[in-house]
Chain A
Amino acid sequence: MNFRFPLSLILVGSCVVAITPAAQNPPAQQKSGVAAKAAAKKAPNESAEGEKRFETHCGRCHVPPEALSPREVKAVLRHMRVRANLTEEDQRLILKYLAP
């Protein structure tokens, strides 16, 4: 069979798979931006500073991620340290905020 629009078909198929409930992360794994903020209250000093730095640096382009585990947050922050010129201290404090 000759597909005339192969990428379109792949993308449509991927979207269908992505929106099915089985493809979603299990609730226990989710760390929403709201949950991160709630957790931030437990360790007010560093988490509050981390939130401030998130708003200063990361918030310039995007909101807090919706569903990330602490291990994913660490990988994202390593990536953004290079991309967004975060300092080592920014990386450490934002990690405290997003994955306390």
Chain B
Amino acid sequence: MLQRATWILMMVLFSGSALRAQSNVPIISGGVQFLSSTNGGVTTFQPLIAPVVAIPIGERWLVESRATFDEFIFRENGTSGPYHALTFSSMDYLQLDFLANRHVTITLGQFLTPFGIYNERVSPVWIRNIADPPLIAGIGTRTSGSSDGGMLRGVAIEKKDWQLQYTAYFAARSGTRQFNSGRTAGARVGVFVPGPRLEVGFSYQRFLQDLHLNSWGTYVVWQPSGAPLDVRAEYAHSRGGQGYWLEGAYRFSRSRDDSSWLGRLQAIGRVQQFYLGTPSPNDVLPGADTQQVELGLNYYLPHNVRLNASGGRQFSSLGNSNVWNLQITYRFLFPLIPGSAR
């Protein structure tokens, strides 16, 4: 299936003359990352590339896609023995967007399941501050974090002082390897206040295959314009469990353009708790009540390169452990067809 999707994409891309002629050019963006992770004394390495392709067509259409290719390098006996590697690939989304009007965008295809903020907005490697996903990341995103179906989204009400944003979707069941999806319906509604850059939202999802499960959650994102502070928090509840994460990041400069060594530094902290409910098959949730606290540092180098280090401790009845991550991430963006951007 991935091969078929790749062929379709290639055919679109190599209809070069049409794409060159239009005023918008296709772009390829994304991130490259090398992650070293030590969990409970076992160190693994994970190189990863996640390209994003965006192909505008006409004035109202957009084809966009993100795939992830990563390799998991580990020692045979955990801390000793020869190194081995497993290579993975996944299609995160491949969707067709139609900008119907100022309030509605219609999306068809495979899209990131819009539950809460992590899966759709924070998870890209060039955005997230801490390598490991939150403990509750599996709530509202089963089965794969992606959904195959249709989605409506946009800004329903746009006032000077606030906006009402919405997303509503229905997804069909799919067991195809690269387009795995659960049968679900859901919605997310958020209010964004541009002045204090405060956003508060609510998500709901009904899982409609095998077990019929409700998941719901709420989130808040706050980036005060007077301080280089970035606060994100999310709470989610499902039959399998409930929990929250709260993350704060403080840049040691009021301006993101600050090129001093201190101005490039950002301190990060995240606390999270998870309380086990009634586990269901295919839950991607911790197997016991779990608490975790992490501290980290981002260092923003020139040319969209970021160094990141974080360490923390996980407390669980299944065993406590230390978690250490070191990563370097490069964010890239090029025209998809060389020379077409001129």
Contacts and interface: CB of A to CB of B under 8 A. Distances in A.
Q: Is chain B found bound to chain A in the same assembly? A: yes
Interface of A: 4-8, 10-11, 14-15, 18, 29, 33-34, 55-57, 59-63, 65-69, 71-72, 74-76, 78-79, 81-85, 87-89
Contact of B62 (A8, A56, A66, A82): A82
A71 B341 contact: yes
B73 interface: yes
B73 A81 contact: no
B27 A72 contact: yes
A29 B64 CA distance: 24
Given A69-B342, A71-B340, A76-B27, A7 B71 contact: yes
5 contacts: A59-B256, A60-B221, A82-B64, A82-B153, A87-B155
B223 interface: yes
Contacts of B153: 82, 85
A11 B54 contact: no
A62 to B, nearest CB: 8
A76 B49 contact: no
Given A15-B330, A78-B54, 20 more contacts: A5-B85, A7-B49, A7-B69, A7-B71, A11-B49, A33-B257, A60-B223, A62-B126, A63-B256, A66-B303, A71-B24, A71-B340, A72-B333, A75-B26, A75-B54, A76-B333, A78-B99, A79-B52, A81-B99, A83-B120
- Kindly state the interface size class of chain B when it binds its partner: 35 or more
Interface in B235-258: 256-257
Contacts of B230: 60
Interface string B302-342: 01100000000000000000000000001111010000111
A87 B102 contact: yes
B163 A6 contact: no
Nearest to B62: A78
B71 A6 contact: yes
B232 to A, nearest CB: 10
Contact of A75 (B25, B34, B49, B342): B25
A13 B5 CA distance: 25
B54 A76 contact: yes
B165 interface: yes
A75 B24 contact: yes
Interface in B78-104: 83-85, 87, 97, 99, 102
Interface string B5-44: 0000000000000000001111101001010000000000
B214 interface: no
A4 B84 CA distance: 7
Among B27, B221, B303, max chain A CB count under 10 A is at: B27
A5 B62 contact: no
B154 A79 contact: no
A11 B87 CA distance: 13
B298 to A, nearest CB: 12
Contact of B56 (A14, A62, A68, A78): A78
B280 interface: no
A76 B28 CA distance: 10
B105 to A, nearest CB: 6
A85 B24 contact: no
Interface string B36-79: 00000000000111001010100000101000011101000000
A5 B24 contact: no
B89 to A, nearest CB: 9
Contacts of A76: 27, 29, 54, 333
Nearest to B122: A61
A15 B303 CA distance: 13
B279 interface: no
Given A60-B223, A63-B256, A72-B335, A8 B23 contact: no
B132 interface: no
Contacts of B335: 69, 71-72
Given A72-B333, A75-B24, A75-B25, A56 B194 contact: yes
Nearest to A72: B341
Contacts of B27: 72, 75-76, 79
B158 A7 contact: no
